Amino acid sequence: MQWTPGGRSPDIEDRRGESSAGSGGFGGLIGPLLAGLLLNRRIGIGGLLLLLVLGFIASRFFQSGPTTPGQNISPYGTASRSGSGSPESDDKQIQFVSFVLDDAQKTWERLFTQMGRTYRHAKLVLFRDYTISGCGAAKAATGPFYCPADENVYLDLGFFDELSNRMGAPGEFGQAYVIAHELGHHVQNLLGIESKVSRLRQENPAISNPLSVRLELQADCLAGVWGHSTEQRNLIDQADIASGLEAVAAVGDDRLQKMATGSVSPERFTHGTSAERSEWFRRGLSSGDISSCNTFRNQ
C-alpha cells in the first residue's frame, strides 16, 4: 500500500500513557485513599466497610467491557494483548494509522458533500491494555470497536500483531480495512442507521443477532467504498486487495468460532461469515458507491 509517512492526525487521541485498570482510575484510587484514612485514624469500621464495597464496585466496573446499547462490539474478542513494540515501530504504526484515518475521513467528507450532507469527523483513541469509552470499559482483549455514544474508534496497536500472527492476515491494507470498517460504523451513526437498528434490536431481541450481522456487513461494504477510492488513486494494487480480503475473511464469525471452539454455531453469528464479509467488502470496493451497501434491503 502506498502511503505518505508524516505527523500524527489531529483526530488521534493517544492514551497509551494512561495507567491500566489495576493501577489507575477510580479503582486505583481506593488503595491510597484507604491507606491515608487509616494512617490519619479518620475512619471507623463503618467507613472501612464502605470503602471496601466501593473498591469492589470500582474493580467490577473497570474490568467490564463496553456495555452501552447500540455499540458496535468487535468480533475479535478472543484476541489477547501482545507485547508492545519498540518506540520506532510504534511511531511508524501511528503514522500509518494517521494516514488511513485522515484519508478515509477526507473520502467521506467528499461523499457526504455529494449527498448534500455534512460529515463530522470521528476520533480514533489509541490505548494500551485498557481505557474508558463512552460505551464502558475498552480492553485490548476486546479488539477494535466504534462507540456511537462518543463517536470514537478505540484501537490497541497490539491488535495488528494478532491480526498478522494469530489470524494469518498480514499486510498493511488488512490493517487499513480494520480502521475503515470501524469508520463505516461512524458513517452509519451519522446517517441514522445505527440508532434505527439499535432501537429495533431493543424492541425485538429475537432478531438482534441477524440485525447485527446486517449492520456489520454494511460496515464492511462501506470500508470497501473507501478502498475503491484508494484503488482509483493507485494507492493499492491487486496484492493489497488480496491482503485486505485475507483480513476480512479472518474475522468471519464461522472462522473465529471454529478457531475458538472447534465448531460453528450460526445462531450466534453477529458479524457474518467469512464469505459474506468478503462479498460485501468486494461490493463496496467494486462500486465505490454507498448505495450498493444496502444490506437491509427487504427488511
CA-closest candidate to residue 66, choices 134, 127, 132, 137: 137
CA-closest candidate to residue 173, choices 216, 223, 126, 125: 223
By CB atoms closer than 10 A (0-12, 13-18, 19+), residue 27 is buried
Q: Per-residue pLDDT for 122 more than 60?
A: yes
Q: Per-residue pLDDT for 226 more than 90?
A: yes
Please state, in angstroms and rounded to a whole number, the distance separating the CA atoms of residues 125 and 145. 10
Residue 219 near residue 280, CB atoms below 8 Å: no
User: Which is higher by pLDDT, 6 or 64?
Assistant: 6
- Phi and psi at 85, nearest 5°, equal -80, -175
Q: Which of 13-27, 145-159, 169-183 has the highest mean pLDDT?
A: 145-159
Is pTM beyond 0.85? Reply is no
| pLDDT tens per residue, range 285-298 | 999 999 999 999 86
User: Which is higher by pLDDT, 243 or 73?
Assistant: 243
For 259-269, what is the mean pLDDT?
93
The separation between CA 269 and the C-alpha centre of its own chain, rounded to angstroms, equals 18
| pLDDT tens per residue, range 12-56 | 999 998 755 443 433 333 333 333 433 444 444 444 344 334 333
pLDDT score for 52: 38
CA-closest candidate to residue 216, choices 175, 256, 271: 271
pLDDT score for 207: 94
pLDDT score for 35: 38
pLDDT score for 75: 59
Please state, in angstroms and rounded to a whole number, the distance separating the CA atoms of residues 177 and 190. 20
pLDDT band with cut points at 50, 70 and 90 for residue 166: confident
Residue 15 near residue 127, CB atoms below 8 Å: yes
For 271-283, what is the mean pLDDT?
97
Residue extents of the structural domains in the chain: 21-63, 70-293
272 φ/ψ sector (left φ>0, alpha ψ -120 to 50, else beta): left
pLDDT score for 7: 80
pLDDT score for 221: 98
For 157-173, what is the mean pLDDT?
83
Please state, in angstroms and rounded to a whole number, the distance separating the CA atoms of residues 264 and 241. 27
pLDDT score for 76: 57
Place of cell 454494511: 218
Half-sphere exposure of 299 (CA within 13 A, CB side): 15
Q: Per-residue pLDDT for 263 more than 70?
A: yes
